[in-house]
Copies of this chain bind each other. A is one copy, B any other.
Amino acid sequence: MQFHLNGFRPGDPGVADDDAALSPVTPMRELPASVDVLIVGSGPTGLTVAAQLSALDGLSVCLVEQKPGPLQVGQADGIACRTMEMFEAFGFADRVLKESYWVNETVFWRPDPEHPRHIRRSDRIQDVEDGLSEMPHVILNQARVHDFFLDLMRRSSNPVLPDYRRHLTGLDIPAGDGPVVATIERLGSDGEPDGVTETVRARFVVGCDGARSAVRGFMGLGLHGDAANHAWGVMDVLAVTDFPDIRFKAVVHSANEGNLLVIPREGGYMFRLYIELDALAVDERVASRNITVDRLIGDARRIFTPYSLDVKEVAWWSVYEIGQRMTERYDDLPSDAPAERTPRVFIAGDACHTHSPKAGQGMNVSMRDGFNLGWKLGAVLRGQSPPAILRTYSTERWAVARQLIDFDRELAKMFSAPPKTSADDTEGVDPAEFQRYFQQHGRFTAGTETRYSPSMIVGGDDHQALAAGFPIGKRFHSAPVVRLADGRPIELGHVADADGRWRLYLFADAGRPDHPDSQLAALCEFLATDDRSPVRRATPADADVDHVIDVRGVVRQHWHDLTLGSLPALLRPTKGRYGLVDQEKVFCPTPGRDIFERRGVSSDGAVVVVRPDQHVAHVLPLQRPDELAAFFANFLLTAS
């Protein structure tokens, strides 16, 4: 798709009419007096939490936002592979794939040794290593990501619409069991309070209100870290240039004029430049420098020497300061809270961590904060899990932010240092070294390296060897398979919708699954009939058998050599008012791309337990139903 040729235009590029292309603003309406979850902030983090909850029937959610309406321009644009996998679970990855720029390679430019005032391409690398994810790394206006979430939330059977022009002015977190009480002021179209204040009582509150989070303030938490900030300039431009790599992601180090990043953008014409400005003094604000867009353009032109840059339109620009900082925790529990206390107020996204834009991590890590929290809130509110699982949110995501801050500090230091001029130069950084660091951390920036530590919802690694390619704690790494019932090639990971369900992938042992000696069949029998079975325990009496735990089988046979009807009943369950057979539970290896080989699954088979946020919770033998039952008993309650 090509668009923005004659100027940037916000909204859906597939709709010709300007107004129809924009996400609608919810009309001003009264806030509910009482809700299950109050979300403060409708950025990508708040939208991820809201979208997850809107996918779960029966929950009441209120999403408030200070801005007057949906975002239309600017802010983040990088979408990592792991985030695309999450979008696939939410059902809109295809729309992002269609509209976005795909980062296929990253190129590196540094001073030409023969003409040091000129830049020269030094290298290029594949941006995402082969096999890391079935999804590409892409770039798309953050506003469009919002649009897709908003669209999803509107289409849901439990719609959630943001209430704009609402400002949180108070949050009362009672010591006892009562609801959290939020005081929210309406803002007029001028952004000033219009005199109306509303009160919302919420079982849980999630602050997704950015680096200056009000929720964080009411929790008594702060952002801690570097004293001084770095100033950055960013601009989305339509421009003519003879820089040859303008449609590649490019890291450009000049000798004396500074450094910049080129991020090509969706539509084929626009691109973004991130330009590093000066380090600020402690407590200095970038606003005091009065930096103009012309200054940014001038900087970029000098860095690009000898290439030209003729900017025709600046679609959006900003100058901002950033330091590596993070909060001490993500929820309202004091660090010495007794084990029985459970949190009621959470923060997520920029409210918890701030860092440089260089590796495109901000929006991605933030949305994954939201994905981690959303299903847990849903499970507790629907009575499926004890509130104790909510404690894992802060633990799991704080550790991710810690890694991110460390990574970013190192990357920022290397990015900002002047190019090394000689072997004796101890100040400078060899751009080749920067490139190596960047490349080594490709898996980290893709988001696929995140690994949650053992907890009540992440098992130990005693049986990891049964499925070495599905590391416990990391996201389930999809692989191609063929569906038994209809011979359709699919990605196994794509069966996992963001629907709050746990998944059990039963990888078959060497026995035929339609024979009595099959371990797979024996485990299915246990799961379907034994009183200790987590499937039986967790499933409400009137619900389909896969309502809480979705069991999938992966067999070793070709789909021509097995029929679904011969397999254990649990793998062809009857569902719904008519008792129709769900024919989509069993998969076969793709010829030539055997999932058992690719993911190192043992000939004894394996059970891979996957959380609602797609992370592998456990790997267990088919032959240990008691261990499986005990693991689920940690966090799944018996349905009434």
| Interface residues, chain A, with chain B CB atoms under 8 Å away | 2, 5-7, 12, 14-17, 20, 91, 94, 98, 101-102, 104-105, 124, 155-159, 238-240, 242, 244, 246-248, 264, 268-269, 312-313, 485-489, 560, 563-565, 574-584
Contacts and interface: CB of A to CB of B under 8 A. Distances in A.
Given A94-B94, A584-B268, A6 B486 contact: no
Contacts of A239: 580
Given A94-B98, A577-B7, A16 B240 contact: no
Most-contacted residue by chain B among A16, A239, A240 (CB, 10 A):
A16
Given A2-B584, A16-B157, A560-B124, A312 B578 contact: yes
Contacts of A264: 486
A363 B45 CA distance: 45
B6 A578 contact: yes
A104 B155 contact: no
A88 B560 CA distance: 32
Contacts of A155: 12, 14-17, 20
Contacts of A578: 5-7, 238, 240, 312-313
A135 B60 CA distance: 42
Contacts of A580: 5, 238-240, 269, 312
Contact of A244 (B16, B94, B158, B564): B564
A548 B155 CA distance: 39
A247 B583 contact: yes
A575 to B, nearest CB: 6
Given A124-B560, A578-B313, A581-B240, A486 B7 contact: no
Contacts of A91: 14
B5 A576 contact: yes
Grouping DSSP codes into helix (H, G, I), strand (E, B) and loop, the A interface class, with mixed when no group exceeds half, is: loop
22 contacts: A2-B584, A5-B575, A5-B576, A6-B577, A6-B578, A7-B577, A16-B156, A16-B157, A16-B158, A16-B159, A20-B155, A101-B486, A104-B489, A105-B487, A244-B564, A246-B583, A247-B486, A264-B486, A268-B583, A268-B584, A269-B582, A269-B583
A312 B580 CA distance: 9
Given A268-B584, A312-B580, A240 B486 contact: no
Contacts of A124: 560
Nearest to A489: B104
Nearest to A249: B486
A619 B124 CA distance: 37
A20 B154 CA distance: 10
A12 B156 CA distance: 12
A165 to B, nearest CB: 25
Given A2-B584, A94-B94, A580-B312, A240 B574 contact: yes
Contacts of A485: 247
B487 A244 contact: no
A581 B155 CA distance: 39
A296 B240 CA distance: 67
A565 B242 contact: yes
Contacts of A563: 244
Contacts of A240: 574, 578-581
A98 B486 CA distance: 16
Contacts of A579: 240, 312
Given A240-B579, A242-B565, A313-B578, 20 more contacts: A2-B582, A2-B584, A5-B578, A5-B582, A14-B155, A16-B155, A16-B159, A17-B155, A17-B157, A104-B486, A104-B489, A105-B487, A238-B578, A240-B574, A244-B564, A244-B565, A247-B485, A247-B583, A264-B486, A269-B582
A238 B269 CA distance: 49
B6 A102 contact: no
Contacts of A582: 2, 5, 268-269
A576 B6 contact: yes
Contacts of A581: 240
A582 B7 CA distance: 14
Contacts of A488: 102, 104
A592 to B, nearest CB: 13
Q: Which 7 A-B pairs have the closest CB atoms?
A: A16-B157, A312-B578, A247-B486, A104-B487, A5-B576, A247-B485, A244-B563
Contacts of A94: 94, 98
A105 B489 CA distance: 12
Contact of A486 (B14, B159, B248): B248
A6 B577 CA distance: 6
Contacts of A489: 104
Contacts of A102: 486, 488
Nearest to A98: B94
A59 to B, nearest CB: 14
Most-contacted residue by chain B among A14, A574, A579 (CB, 10 A):
A14
Nearest to A20: B155
